[in-house]
Amino acid sequence: MGPIRGQKRKRKIVEKKVDRSGGAGGGSSSTSSEKDEQPKDWWDEFSRRITGPLSRSKSSKKIESVFKISRKTFNYICSLVKEDMIKSSPFSAANGKSLGLNDQVAVALRRLGSGESLVIIGETFGINQSSVSQITWRFIESMEKRGLRHLKWPSTEAEMTEVKSKFEKMRGLPNCCGAIDTTHIAMCLPTVDNSNDVWYDSENNHSMILQAIVDPDMRFRDIVTGWPGSVSESSALRSSGFFNLCEKGNRLSGKKIQLCKGSELGEYIIGDVGFPLLPWLVTPYQGKHLSESKSEFNKRHFATRMVAQRALARLKEMWGILQGTMWRPDTNRLPRIILVCCLLHNIVIDMEDEVQDEMPLTHHHDPGYKQQICDSVDKKASMLRDKLSLYLSGSLPP
In DSSP notation, 122-185 reads HHHHT--HHHHHHHHHHHHHHHHHHSGGGS----SHHHHHHHHHHHHHHH--TTEEEEEEEEEE
Strand-strand pairing, 176-188 and 325-327: parallel
Both 81 and 171 in one domain: the answer is no
Both 172 and 273 in one domain: the answer is yes
Both 177 and 286 in one domain: the answer is yes
- Within-domain flag for 13: no
- Within-domain flag for 302: yes
DSSP conformation letters of 261-313: TTEEE--EEE--TTS-BBTTEE----SSS--HHHHHHHHHHHHHHHHHHHHHH
State the Cα–Cα distance between residues 267 and 63, nearest whole angstrom.
42
**Nearest of 249, 250, 254 to residue 267 by alpha carbon:** 254
Both 260 and 374 in one domain: the answer is yes
Both 317 and 206 in one domain: the answer is yes
Both 92 and 170 in one domain: the answer is no
What's the confidence (pLDDT) of residue 360? 73
Both 98 and 230 in one domain: the answer is no
- Within-domain flag for 40: no
- Within-domain flag for 323: yes
Split into its structural domains, the chain has a count of 2
Both 160 and 268 in one domain: the answer is yes
Last residue of a domain, one of 120, 148, 176: 148
What residues have CB less than 8 Å from 364, skipping those under 6 apart?
309, 313
State the Cα–Cα distance between residues 25 and 130, nearest whole angstrom.
47
Q: Which domain holds residue 143?
A: 59-148
Both 109 and 159 in one domain: the answer is no
Q: What is the mean pLDDT of each run of 10 residues along the chain (398 residues)?
A: 41 40 40 46 85 68 88 97 85 83 96 95 93 96 97 97 98 98 96 91 96 98 97 97 98 95 94 98 96 97 97 96 93 97 98 84 85 96 97 90
Last residue of a domain, one of 148, 175, 206: 148
What's the confidence (pLDDT) of residue 61? 66
- Within-domain flag for 81: yes
Both 282 and 217 in one domain: the answer is yes
Both 390 and 341 in one domain: the answer is yes
State the Cα–Cα distance between residues 205 and 186, nearest whole angstrom.
7
- Within-domain flag for 28: no
Strand-strand pairing, 325-327 and 220-228: unpaired
Both 85 and 199 in one domain: the answer is no
Last residue of a domain, one of 96, 120, 148: 148
- Within-domain flag for 116: yes
What's the confidence (pLDDT) of residue 57? 67
- Within-domain flag for 6: no
Strand partners, 225: 210
User: What is the number of other CB atoms lying within 10 angstroms of the CB of residue 133?
Assistant: 15
